[in-house]
Amino acid sequence: KMYMQEQINLKKSGPLIIKKKLMEKGAHSSAIDPILTEGYPEELQIENAAKLFQNKIRSIREEDEKKVKEKMYRFLQQKGFTWPIIEKVFSGHFD
């Protein structure tokens, strides 16, 4: 749980990355899922993804909105966020 909280609060990692790293450390998926569901609610996932989005979007110099969306999608996906969370972050920034 402490490792998970560190990943959530300091690194702003998404649930997929946290799960992957915990499994690499030897934890079983059946033990991770309930803790992750309880300890990382959707609202916090959206908040963390939005913070990462805001920081990253400043560094993108691309003008084409489609390419910006693609880059941001890949970035958030690599950080471990799922499509439904990314979609909610996008809805606040893209038309």
CATH number of the domain located at residue range(s) 43-91 in this protein: 1.10.10
pTM for the model: 0.88
Residue 39 neighbours by CB under 8 Å, 6+ apart:
1, 4, 5, 8
Taking a C-beta distance cutoff of 8 angstroms, is the pair 49, 57 a contact?
A: no
Q: Which two tokens stand for residue 56?
A: 């990253």
At 82 the pLDDT is 97
Residue ranges, the chain, pLDDT below 50:
none
Distance of alpha carbon 53 from the chain centroid: 9
At 91 the pLDDT is 92
At 94 the pLDDT is 76
At 95 the pLDDT is 61
Q: Residue ranges of the domains in the chain?
A: 2-40, 43-91
